[in-house]
Structure 1
């Protein structure tokens, strides 16, 4: 690895991999390097989906994270670059067979690949769905930030109920994705560490519109849009946001003969506060579920709406429905699935922690309501969203 890249420090850790800050050995350019251990076929399938989606974007949009290269680790200190358009055959075979393909033994019975015990189960910090608390479970807090209790969990797709497979002589130990580095952290960290700025918020919203329109035009449905998966590059003229983390994305559809075709999905996946009602209900859904997720993010960004997961110390941007005497929080998608006639209060009316930006104007509130519609077909498609956002912001400015 040191011949190509230098690892400096760990900057992020999730349920499937670890991200390091690094530098290209020849040029010194700073990069983000993500290690994805190939420990089971369920994880490998997600990795290949992420790799394929990132290759499809081909560094062609400023608001989508750029992939520089992908390396395949076949031994403790053995790495080789993957050619563009190619997938490792043994990893594809692992996904198809449902088990990790190992090296075959030579006639003497010795494995051609040394054993390794470096693969570990990583802590899952995303995609949790919490139960409504009982009075006995309610945690006392002096914080003015609403808190969401953490009592039940939704598994990400493809997770196995079986015991973790013991590490063995794997032919592919890990994939390493080398990506552009974003020095501003994720959208939560960037926006919530600064005073509210309406112009900055408007810029973020417009950039995200452009990114999702680009992805949908390629037939890529992200399926896990949330502030954690939006990274920020700090520039003199303002932030540039980058949609990242394509592990749950799906490719299909796209523009055919000038018409946008829609692929239907059935896997329930995503993160609870940003999932669309149809996903919550276990129905088939389309890329319009991404529009709902964007609507939740836009509402939270424009009004600086935050909440805390129980046991967490960092606020998260996210809109919700607050119900009951104890004030427990319900994700919008869940609330709309239970009652599709529910009228959302946009902008929010109850007291929140200052400092707060001015609330969105009437035109933007109408657009947010459309994006958060229970009916997916009532939501504006991505290719129209950017123009509608610009029009709404301009109208409200007058």
Structure 2
């Protein structure tokens, strides 16, 4: 293996894996290293989807996270790089058979579990220096709180499950490192800046056009899946986390209804109404999710998910004193009025409200009819036009 990596600290933990800040041993350059434990065929299928999508995007767009390499962990002390364009056949076989290939007998599993309790193993090619505790910032007492979680969340498999010794224990994705955290952390940690917000909207529009042109539907767009690199010219945002994405042959922008999906997935505050309603949906569901993000970024709208103390950027509907995701509200009532700008629900310090032309674009992105939403290849020009017209009206 040409490059060896050192794990420095844990920087994120999600439903499917753990992300570490790491270093390239030879150069000292920073990288992000994501560990995906191969504990069941359902998770493995998502990992292979993510790997395939990231290989397709490669390093070809500045607003999409770049994959440097992928390592396959075949034992407690054994990692090997995957060749470009190749997938580990044992993991493909696990997906096809619906069971993890290479699992040992129960007696061997118990023996290994007992041995692991006595001896702390480590991965030889990834030196682990992690010993950190993640803390979450406390939010403003005035931030609205959602009363209960909805059922349409990712299932949470057991993390770091070494109890079942597998032939392929984990995939390690080595990616570019983003020093600004995710979009929630970055924007809410500093005063609002209108020019910066507009730049972020244009960058996300460009990234979406690129992904849809490659035939990639993300299906889980939200601020937590947008990472930020701080540069001298300002923040560069990068769309990340392709675990729920779907790929099609050819561009999605020319025929937006060509590929349909039926599985309900994503994060509830950003899901389109057709996804909430359990209907067939297309790549246009990404445009709705992006519209929720755009609205939240422009007006600095936040909420709290039940059981958390960290603010999340996201627009929502109000039903009495409770919060409701926009997609859910529109799914139940297609004529539900969206009040743009929201103003009264914005988190301080307050940015200026979006202009009338941007409000029209947001309403177009958030319309119930997916075919009336702008396509990804039209979005960046629509954003530029709306911003320019609103600047002239000011």
- CA separation of 1:3 and 1:303: change in aligned 2, threshold 3 A: closer
TM-score of the two chains, using structure 1 as the length reference: 0.87
Match of 2:360 in 1: 366
- CA separation of 1:97 and 1:377: change in aligned 2, threshold 3 A: same
Q: Which of 184, 187, 193 is the matching residue for 1:191?
A: 187
Q: Which of 212, 215, 236 is the matching residue for 2:211?
A: 215
1:226-305 to 2 correspondences below 5 Å: 226-255=222-251, 262-305=258-301
CA contact (8 A) 1:253 1:260 kept: no
Q: Which of 205, 208, 212 is the matching residue for 2:201?
A: 205
Q: Deviations over 1:149-169 (max 9, x none)?
A: 234432427x78x9x999333
| Distance in structure 1 (CA, Å) of the matches to 2:297 and 2:249 | 30
Q: Deviations over 1:244-265 (max 9, x none)?
A: 0000000014339976673110
CA contact (8 A) 1:94 1:100 kept: yes
Q: Which has the higher helix share?
A: 2
CA contact (8 A) 1:262 1:287 kept: no
Any idea what SS the aligned residue of 1:309 has?
A: coil
TM-score of the two chains, using structure 2 as the length reference: 0.88
| Distance in structure 2 (CA, Å) of the matches to 1:210 and 1:180 | 19
Q: Deviations over 1:6-37 (max 9, x none)?
A: 11111111111110101111111100000000
Match of 2:141 in 1: 143
Match of 1:171 in 2: 167
| Distance in structure 1 (CA, Å) of the matches to 2:348 and 2:195 | 18
CA contact (8 A) 2:205 2:380 kept: yes
| Distance in structure 2 (CA, Å) of the matches to 1:81 and 1:65 | 19
Match of 1:78 in 2: 78
- CA separation of 1:342 and 1:355: change in aligned 2, threshold 3 A: same
How well do the aligned residues superpose, as a CA RMSD in angstroms?
Answer: 2.7
Any idea what SS the aligned residue of 2:234 has?
A: coil
| Distance in structure 2 (CA, Å) of the matches to 1:149 and 1:84 | 46
1:273-352 to 2 correspondences below 5 Å: 273-324=269-320, 327-352=321-346
Match of 2:126 in 1: none
Q: Deviations over 1:277-303 (max 9, x none)?
A: 000000010000000000000000000
Q: Deviations over 1:223-277 (max 9, x none)?
A: 0000000000001110000000000000014339976673110000000000000
CA contact (8 A) 2:39 2:164 kept: no
Q: Deviations over 1:299-357 (max 9, x none)?
A: 00000000112231111000000121xx1000000000000011211101435442111
| Distance in structure 1 (CA, Å) of the matches to 2:50 and 2:259 | 18
Match of 1:27 in 2: 27
CA contact (8 A) 1:217 1:260 kept: no
Runs of 5+ in structure 1 lacking a partner?
Answer: 120-140
Deviation at 1:104, TM superposition (A): 7.2
CA contact (8 A) 2:58 2:66 kept: yes
Deviation at 1:364, TM superposition (A): 0.2
Deviation at 1:2, TM superposition (A): 11
CA contact (8 A) 1:201 1:302 kept: yes
| Distance in structure 2 (CA, Å) of the matches to 1:203 and 1:294 | 14
| Distance in structure 2 (CA, Å) of the matches to 1:216 and 1:26 | 36
Deviation at 1:142, TM superposition (A): 7.8
